[in-house]
Amino acid sequence: MADTLTITDNRTGKQYELPIEHGAIKALDLRKIKADQDDFGLMTYDPAYQNTAACKSRITYIDGDKGILLYRGYPIEQMAEKSTFLETAYLILFGELPNAKQLDAWVHEITMHTMLHENIKKLMEGFQYDAHPMGIFLSTVGALSTNYPDAKRIFEEDSRRLQIRRLIAKVPSIAAYAYRHSIGRPYVYPDNDLSFTGNFLNMLFKMTELKYQVNPVLERALDILFILHADHEQNCSTSAMRGIGSAQSDPYSSLAGAAAALYGPLHGGANEAVLRMLKEIGHVKNIPQFIEGVKKGDGRLMGFGHRVYKSYDPRARIIKQTADEVFAVTGRNPLTDIALELERIALEDDYFISRKLYPNVDFYSGLIYQAMGFPVDMFPVLFAIPRTAGWLAQWDEMLRDPDQKIARPRQVYIGAERRDYVAKEQRT
């Protein structure tokens, strides 16, 4: 027998049987539950979509209680250990790991699209000298839609694939240009001899040398961080990407909106907030007082807690290991001791235990980025580069899904009833 849910409506005494599929009922099935004939029908009230599945997806699986994260079925731990970012992006986008030939072709295609049009470079030069690189990043990604009007052909697979290649290849170039602009250095053109992350480091940090020498430890560490950030199912920015894309906007405009969501301190800006918090704490001896403040409601312990993970975020564990390898090259970030002690104390404190608050991906990533020489303003940009693969995979899946339409939530109206306009002289 198929799974069903039986609902009795006390208002009418009627019973309804709703099918349960994949652990969910269809919200639209509730519409037939009406108090009387004029009733619109029952809705669910779910601010912040805490218990609403807005799509079916085959891309990323998370079990928040067990701390499991799978990309297309492959555990994040195996991907971080054995894969590269570009291979992971291929997997996320196309559903399967590429064979050797497919991987070579994919890496070649991405490498061939890294250059930005000179007009885009000029556009970026127009930003204020101290503009936040994430502001530059999201505006420039949006502006790319003006360079590629063919991107409007979203229902043509060839066009979608071309825009996907362009975006994955160009976001590091935009990110690096945004950074160089914000510190007043000349732009560095891509070096196609280098790997995806090696070239990114080149575009960020090359000075007058003829050829940038990539440090292989930092190159690999950045690649691992990119793998960890490539997708995370229906988070705020991905929902923005799907939401904007559902109006059939082009991928550049949709991605600019997703990046804007990622800019927020509760999402991609959290690692920046972690560093600010660690600096504010200043010393290990100040931690108990800080924790007491958090428990009283004076701010949050940044980098802790997650809407989905109610145990240790598996990405945080991998990042902690990567941190040691990076610090062996760069020297230890002095804030690390404060972070480690903060984590130790919080994980023993009933406030955090009872609310299932554990370190998330952002708790340690900022420490690594800072040790590698990135200013904190660059942190959300470093998140946006790999997440571009996830956003595009989710956008592509959404467009091919016959269940999807333009996203348009309902509301529960609690405002004034109908009333007549009052002339301003008669208002009290």
Ligand X SMILES: CC(C)(COP(=O)(O)OP(=O)(O)OC[C@H]1O[C@@H](n2cnc3c(N)ncnc32)[C@H](O)[C@@H]1OP(=O)(O)O)[C@@H](O)C(=O)NCCC(=O)NCCS
**Which residue ranges make up the site for ligand X (CB under 6 A)?**
266, 270, 294, 300-307, 355, 357, 360-362
By beta-carbon proximity to ligand X, the closer residue of 270 and 382 is: 270
Cα 146 to chain centroid distance, Å, stands at: 24
**Number of C-beta neighbours around residue 44 at 10 A:** 11
Q: Which residue has the tokens 């793998």?
A: 227
Cβ 295 to ligand X, closest distance in Å? Answer: 8
Residue 346: closest CA among 316, 297, 303, 314: 303
Residues 102/91, Cβ–Cβ less than 8 Å:
no
Which residue minimizes CB distance to ligand X? 305
Alpha-carbon gap, residue 55 to 40, rounded angstroms: 24
By beta-carbon proximity to ligand X, the closer residue of 64 and 98 is: 64
State the catalytic residues. Answer: 267, 306, 362
Tell me if residue 299 falls in helix, strand or coil.
Answer: coil
Cβ 163 to ligand X, closest distance in Å? Answer: 27
By beta-carbon proximity to ligand X, the closer residue of 176 and 302 is: 302
By beta-carbon proximity to ligand X, the closer residue of 66 and 355 is: 355
Cβ 412 to ligand X, closest distance in Å? Answer: 20
H helices of 190-235, where?
A: 196-205, 216-228
Per DSSP, 61 falls in state: E
Q: Tokens in use for 36?
A: 């009387």
253's CB contacts (< 8 A; 6+ apart) are: 142, 145, 244
Cβ 323 to ligand X, closest distance in Å? Answer: 17
Max intra-chain CA distance, the chain: 81
**Number of C-beta neighbours around residue 204 at 10 A:** 21
CA dihedral 167, 169, 171, 176 (to 10 degrees): -160
Region at 62 (left for phi over 0; alpha for psi -120 to 50; beta for the rest): beta
Residue 338: closest CA among 292, 277, 293: 277
Alpha-carbon gap, residue 384 to 216, rounded angstroms: 22
By beta-carbon proximity to ligand X, the closer residue of 179 and 309 is: 309
By beta-carbon proximity to ligand X, the closer residue of 11 and 279 is: 279
Cβ 272 to ligand X, closest distance in Å? Answer: 11
Cβ 313 to ligand X, closest distance in Å? Answer: 8
